Structures are given as C-alpha cells and as structure tokens.
Amino acid sequence: MRLIPTKVHGYLDYIMGALLIAAPWLFDFDRGGAETWVPVILGAGTIIYSLMTDYELGATKGISMRTHLTLDLVGGILLAASPWIFGFADYVYVPHLVLGIFEIGASLLTKTQPQYGPHHSKANDGRTLSTH
C-alpha cells in the first residue's frame, strides 16, 4: 500500500540528500574512505535525480516517478549494505543502515504518480492542466 504522496516524498528527498551529504560530519565518521563517500555521493545523486523527476518538486521533469523510486530503492539497499560491502562495519554501520532502511521504506510506500498525473502542462496562470 503506497501512502506517501509524491509531494511529501519530494520534500523528504531534498532533506535526505542534504542529510546524507552532511552525515559523515554530523555523526562523526568522516575518515575519508567509503564510510564517508558512499553517503555523500548517494546524497548528491538523490538531489540531482530529484531535480530531474516528474513530480511536484522536480525542476526538469525528465525522470518518471517510477524510475525515481527505483533509484531510491537501489540507493537505499546500497547504503544499508555498504558497511559490509566496503568493509567498514567494524568502524561504523548504524547511520548507513538506518538511513538506508528509511530510503527503502520511502521508495516502497510512495505513490507512483504525482497528484497532477502524467502528461501535465502548466497554464499561463500557473494552474496544472491535464493534456489527456
């Protein structure tokens, strides 16, 4: 059951992207290796593909919401598993695991179509209109 509206997901995307970029310094695990760069790269990627997503908070609307959610799912799995994949679990794993699980959950619980639906266009007065 998909409960999260795409607009809410959009806000979560930008917050999560910024949090992932800042996480190594916020949670004091910035040793300069994979433990640092995996969340930073995934956070930057999240912001970039969010800007390109066809939803209420996207700028260019080039990526479908389904593709966006797939990227979130894959990124969440990679983030959650990264301490063991890259061998830094003895140093730190909780932030990566928790934030990764959050990403996975958000990807599975978010609606796949923006409220305005696919194939939309903006009228001169700013209203959203369907082009069906």
Asked if the structure places residue 116 within a domain, the reply is: no
- The residue to which tokens 């609606």 are assigned: 111
Asked if the structure places residue 90 within a domain, the reply is: yes
- Say how many domains are in the chain: 1
Short-list 106, 102, 92, CA closest to 38: 92
| Residue 34, domain extent | 6-111
Asked if the structure places residue 40 within a domain, the reply is: yes
Asked if the structure places residue 120 within a domain, the reply is: no
pLDDT at 131 over 70: no
Task: Give the separation between CA 5 and CA 112, rounded to whole angstroms.
Answer: 9
Kind and range of the H or E run holding 130: strand 128-130
Quick one: what percent of the chain has pLDDT higher than 90?
Answer: 85
Asked if the structure places residue 122 within a domain, the reply is: no
Asked if the structure places residue 92 within a domain, the reply is: yes
Asked if the structure places residue 125 within a domain, the reply is: no
Q: What is the model's pTM?
A: 0.86
Asked if the structure places residue 129 within a domain, the reply is: no
The model's pLDDT over 37-56, given as tens digits with 9 standing for 90+, comes to 999 999 999 999 999 999 99
What is the per-residue pLDDT for 127?
44
Task: Give the separation between CA 119 and CA 30, rounded to whole angstroms.
Answer: 43
What is the per-residue pLDDT for 119?
53
Short-list 117, 121, 34, 110, CA closest to 78: 34
